[in-house]
A = this chain, B = another copy of it.
Amino acid sequence: MIPAIAPVTRPQVTAVIGATGAVGREVLKQLHERNFPVKELRALASHRSAGEMLPFGSHQVAVRELAESELAGVDVAILAADASTSKAWAPRLVAAGAFVVDNSSAFRTDPNVPLVVPEVNGHLLKSRPTLVANPNCTTILSVMAAAPLHAVFTLIRMTACSYQAVSGAGLPAMQELENQVRQWSRNEPVQASVFKRPSLFNVFPHDSALLPDGSVEEETKLIRESQRILGLPKLRVSATCARVPVRRSHAIALHLEFAKPVDVEVARQTLDRAPGVRVIDERQGSPADSLMAAEQDDVLVSRVRFDPGVPDGHGLALWVVGDQLLKGAALNAIQIAECLVS
């Protein structure tokens, strides 16, 4: 069910769209670090960013404007732009013969486009679909922990409360938080524009669009995408998403209810064996935190414990932390690309 990722061999003309953003920059970094066989790299972005230089290993690449003329010959494209850019350009890239991995929400609910976390539902990549949606960051981290446990105990209900880094709102949000730290230190007024309120010393509900049912878009993504990736369309999911003054790791408090009675030690071992997951056992030291997870590929899981609030011994609680720019975005996208081109 969880496919081993085969090594990529044939060199690929690789396009990264939205290359100058927080996720785009990580995509470039990961392509290099993972030795993705890049034959030619096209770092593409909006007109505004054209000409900017971005690091790619020890080289610098010049950003070019995303245009029809850039599509010819692209083997693999990773879209790390907004949903409207993806809607416009993903079909053209597919038409030009590329495998496309889209990090936006544009195609995540499209039944014809697989929504994939390779360790969880990577079997969907075997048919080599030309367009694959990369899930929401909080969703990826949550299902990385929930899926292995589902395989053992059969998941029937999930409550997820998130502690999300500002990086989810892009580089300007990270820079704003850092600027606020500097402003506060200099006794200057703290300036806020990205979130319309300070991030420093503050926690607030997720800033995505408020929906008529009172949820925010991020929570709806977490609910629907988890159901889809886990293959449990009727899974009961409760979600609260919040922002915390953290730069790049998301944490999620998961409370899981299963059809079968749970065994904490089996759960811990199951998670520790799961690819891409690392159990940081708080009995042997400190449980995982945002700083530990930053720039790590693995999703860290701590505090695997019996949940006394769930009837009949069917509940587990866990603390999940992962780098939202890596496994929550760029790394997962590249893992998908690796599967597609191998």
Contacts and interface: CB of A to CB of B under 8 A. Distances in A.
Interface of A: 157-159, 161, 163, 177, 181-182, 184-186, 196-198, 200-205, 210, 213-215, 223, 236-240, 242, 244-247, 249, 251, 253, 255, 264, 282-283, 286-291, 302-311, 315, 317, 319, 321
A197 B286 contact: yes
A244 B317 contact: no
Contacts of A310: 236, 238
A152 to B, nearest CB: 18
A319 B205 contact: yes
Give 10 closest A-B pairs by Cβ, nearest first: A214-B305, A238-B309, A161-B161, A204-B289, A240-B253, A185-B185, A161-B253, A236-B309, A205-B287, A163-B203
Contacts of A237: 308-309
B308 A238 contact: yes
B308 A223 contact: yes
A319 B240 contact: yes
Nearest to A158: B309
A210 B282 contact: yes
B309 A239 contact: yes
A195 to B, nearest CB: 9
A239 B255 CA distance: 8
A290 B163 contact: no
B238 A287 contact: no
Contacts of A253: 161, 240, 242
A311 B236 contact: yes
A244 B203 contact: yes
A309 B240 CA distance: 11
A316 to B, nearest CB: 10
Contacts of A315: 238
Contacts of A159: 159, 238, 255, 309
Given A246-B201, A246-B202, A264-B214, A309 B163 contact: no
B286 A215 contact: no
A245 B242 contact: no
Q: Which among A213, A240, A244, A315 has the highest number of chain B CB atoms within 10 Å?
A: A240
Nearest to A186: B185
Contacts of A304: 214
21 contacts: A161-B255, A181-B185, A185-B186, A197-B286, A197-B291, A201-B247, A202-B246, A202-B291, A203-B246, A204-B286, A204-B288, A204-B289, A214-B305, A215-B305, A223-B309, A236-B308, A237-B309, A238-B308, A238-B317, A240-B317, A242-B253
Contacts of A288: 204
A258 B325 CA distance: 38
Given A158-B309, A203-B289, A238-B317, 12 more contacts: A159-B309, A197-B291, A202-B291, A203-B249, A205-B287, A215-B305, A236-B311, A237-B309, A240-B255, A242-B253, A244-B244, A245-B245
A315 B223 CA distance: 15
Contact of A203 (B158, B177, B251, B264): B251
Contact of A240 (B161, B198, B203): B161
